[in-house]
Amino acid sequence: MIKGFLIYLLGKSFFEGKKVLYPFTLFIAFCSALDASKPALKWASDSESGAPFVFPSHDNISNVVGFEVDVVECIAKKLGYEAQFIQNDWDSLIPGLQRKLYDLVVDGMVITPAREAEVAFTIPYFVTHQQLVVRANEKDIKELEDCRGKIVGTLKNSEALSVLNDLTVSEVRCYSNEINAYSDLMNGRIDAALLDAPIALFYAGSNEKLKLVGKPIGKIAYGIVVRKEDHDLVMKLNAAIRDMKANGELKSILSRWKLWNDQMAEYIGDTTPIKEAPVAYMDFVKNMSTHTKSSTWKTKFNRYLDALPSLISAAWMTLGISLTAMVIAIVLGMGLAVMRVYSPRPLSALAAMYIETVRGTPLLIQLLFIFYGFPYLGIKLSPFIAGVMGLAINYSAYEAENYRTGILSVPRGQMEAARALGMTHLQALWHVVIPQAFRFVIPPVTNDFISLLKDSSLVSMITIVELTKAYTQLSTTYYDYLGTGIIVAGIYLLLGLPFVRFARWAEKRLSTENRKGKKIRHII
């Protein structure tokens, strides 16, 4: 309602003196208010190299497209919802659903007994098979059976992985995205790749260096993933999918993406000819050909310019998380160092236990534990807060050891002299020991901040799109790891360089001799 009222005021001010247009602006405001009142249907997917499921648009990488995007939007419209997309890493999709970050997961999730034990599935919205892909000049591999003794690639946690495990192959290599699998196939690192048929069609079917071989392998069905307790939502989604099957909407969507197949025709019971042109598929092939074959600097330069807003936004997220986490890590680390050096034995032992525990466990595990584990304890943190907290806790342990080393580097006589002058222990620590210790730890603290800046890439595992995640999305969308990588590396360098310069300036200012060669008097 507020949005509608603001639009009304805007229209009123714009058409001041033209009262005949007031009803028109009131109508716009009313429609906007109705639109804003729609409840959100939050759904998650991993858009990184996700064609034809969910992937960034070639025209605007801030938007996602794909046949599953069309399916979700159609379902949301039928149910009176506003579809709201949430990006999350593939491995974190189900944990994020259970944490109630979103309502649905739609990302080519195959319905399996193992997954049904943890989550609920709707009825299938797409049925397909596995497809074997080899190099175009390959003559020995014509069927899946010919892969015995060969190196075959597939996606991790996929149904194809279980198929290959049952087959006697020389080695199964698992990839996080399909582009890397097919790139290794073209480069001769693997002999074949077994992935879902839609993936093979989009990434290998139009590639002159690859070819699809063999008969359809198996039968797999994709369903929308919902929490087990959301029975009513499952029933609504099933009703919407049945309606799409009955009125031809599902067939129309799949036809536009060239995904209508015999298995879908049998599943729906529709053997009528396809009327919809595969416009979405042809657009993808056209863009893919343009991005892979175009070598003009003008085209690449324009592409990089278009990508800059997304990269800058991701860079701000990276910088914000890193700076906030580092400030907290410095304060917490200093407290831990003082506790370990000057506190009674029980507190000192507790600080040492904290430091060794945090340093001895991976940062990624800590992030996932904070974001997905804490809700079981009743603590629900936003992705930003969880990311800052994870990085701050991890680096506070390293900072504590830096400061402990710095404190121990200050001669004990400094503390004794300060106490002899009448200072309390706390005053001597604050005014004498810590300032001198800080001078010693500036270089390692600067190194730690640069490391934290790079380690912030791990927060992409908890739904945050930072600089590294933006790079992977761009590179897999435009098939350009080199140019985009150079730009992202340059942004990381620019983010870290000012702090390196500041550290050098601080070292000079706090050194025992200033730039004029005059000695700084120590407090003794």
Indicate which CATH number applies to the domain containing 493. Answer: 1.10.3720.10
Backbone angles phi, psi at 496, to 5 degrees: -90, -25
On whether residue 185 sits in a domain, the answer given is yes
Same domain, yes or no, for 363 and 456? yes
- Concatenate the DSSP letters of all residues of 362-389 into one string: -HHHHHHIIIIIGGGGT----HHHHHHH
pLDDT, position 465: 86
Q: What is the pLDDT of residue 12?
A: 44
CA distance 520 to 484: 48
- Residue 435 preceded by cis peptide, ω within 30: no
| Residue 180 is assigned to a structural domain of this protein | yes
Same domain for 199 and 323: no
Question: For each of the chain's 524 residues, which pLDDT tens digit applies?
Answer: 444 444 444 444 444 444 444 444 444 444 444 445 679 999 999 988 688 999 988 777 778 999 999 999 999 999 999 999 999 988 899 999 999 999 999 999 999 999 999 999 999 999 999 999 999 999 999 999 999 999 999 998 888 988 888 887 888 999 988 888 999 999 999 999 999 999 999 999 888 899 999 999 999 999 999 999 999 999 999 999 999 999 999 999 999 999 999 999 999 999 899 888 999 999 998 887 765 555 567 777 777 887 888 899 999 999 999 999 999 999 999 899 989 988 898 999 999 999 999 999 999 999 999 999 998 888 989 999 999 999 999 999 999 999 888 878 777 777 778 777 888 877 877 778 777 777 778 888 888 999 999 999 999 888 888 998 888 888 777 777 788 889 999 999 999 888 888 877 877 776 654 544 444 444 44
3-state helix, strand and coil shares in percent for the chain, rounded to the nearest 5 = 60, 10, 25
**Cβ atoms of residues 177 and 91 within 8 Å:** no
pLDDT at residue number 117: 93
Q: Are residues 202 and 305 in the same domain?
A: no
Domain membership of residue 118 (yes or no) is no
Residue 76: which of 104, 48, 34, 108 has the closest Cα? 104
**Which of 203, 222, 241 is the last residue in one of the domains?**
222
Contact between 406 and 440 (Cβ < 8 Å):
yes
Own/partner long-range contacts of 447-451 (Cβ < 8 Å, ≥24 apart)? 448/326, 448/329, 448/395, 448/398, 448/399, 448/402, 449/322, 449/326, 449/496, 449/499, 450/496, 450/499, 450/500, 451/395
69 found inside a domain: no
Indicate the burial class of 137 (C-beta count within 10 angstroms; 0-12, 13-18, 19 or more): exposed
Same-domain pairing of 179 and 304 = no
**Residue 154 one-letter amino acid:** T
Helix axis angle, 434-455 to 297-342, nearest 10°: 140
What stretch of H or E contains 241?
helix 231-247
Last residue of a domain, one of 222, 240, 263: 222
In a domain, 18, yes or no: no
- Tell me what pLDDT residue 256 has: 96
Q: Please indicate, yes or no, whether residues 307 and 437 belong to a single structural domain of this protein.
A: yes
pLDDT at 16: 44
Please give the residue range of the domain that contains residue 338. Answer: 297-510
Q: Is 250 part of any domain?
A: no
With beta carbons less than 8 A apart as the criterion, state whether 204 and 183 touch. no
For residues 310 and 214, state if they share a domain. Answer: no
User: Does 315 share its domain with 205?
Assistant: no
Final residue before a domain boundary, out of 171, 204, 222: 222
Number of domains, the chain: 2
Structure confidence at residue 510 (pLDDT) = 63
Do 191 and 309 lie in one domain? The reply is no
Confidence at residue 172, expressed as pLDDT on a 0 to 100 scale: 92
Q: Are residues 180 and 308 in the same domain?
A: no
Q: Would residue 421 count as lying in a domain? A: yes
Which pair of structure tokens corresponds to residue 21? Answer: 């247009």
CA within 13 Å, CB half, 166? 6
Calpha distance 98→118 (Å, rounded): 9
CATH number at residue 204: 3.40.190.10
Task: Report residue 5 CA to chain centroid gap.
Answer: 36
Looking at the structure, tell me whether residues 386 and 476 fall in a common domain. yes
Q: Does residue 362 belong to any structural domain of this protein? A: yes
If you search the block for the tokens 């997961």, which residue do you land on?
Answer: 105
State the pLDDT at residue 37: 63
CA dist 513 and 504 (Å) reads 14
pLDDT at residue 435, as a whole number: 78
pLDDT of residue 26: 44
